[in-house]
Structure 1
Amino acid sequence: MEAWHARLTDDLLVARAHQLLERLGPVVTGARAAGDRNIIGHVLQMEAQLSDASGDRSSAASA
C-alpha cells in the first residue's frame, strides 16, 4: 500500500509541476519581452492573482 501511495503522490507532484510550468511560461516570456529582469516578481504576482481568482470562484460557489 505504501508503494501505491508513493506512486500516486509522485504522479500528483509531476502533474502540479506541469501546471506550474504552463502558467509560468507566458509570465517569463512577457517579462523578457518587457526587458524586465525581475521574473520572480512577475511569477509571485501572477501566483497571487491566480490565488485571488480561485478564492473568488470558491466564494461564488459557496454563496
Structure 2
Amino acid sequence: MTGHSAAPPGPGAVLAPGPAREEWCLACKAWTRAAGVVLLLTPEGVTRAGTWAWCDTCDPTDWRLDHGR
C-alpha cells in the first residue's frame, strides 16, 4: 500500500465521527440512512479511517440511551 504507514497510531490518537449526511437506504427504500466518515485524529494530522452508516428504520434502536423514547 503506497503512501500508508503500517505502524499503529501512537498515543494521543483519537477516532472521531465525521459530519453526517442523509442517504437513501437500499433495504427499506427511503431517505432514512445516516452516513459519514470515521476520522483518525493524531498529532501528525487527520486521516480518513473508514466509513459508518446507520438506518433509522432498518437498524435496531436498543443501543440508544433513551431506549427509543
TM-score bin (small chain): under 0.3
> Taking structure 2 as the reference length, what is the TM-score of the superposition?
0.25
> Taking structure 1 as the reference length, what is the TM-score of the superposition?
0.27
Which is richer in strand? 2
Which is richer in helix? 1
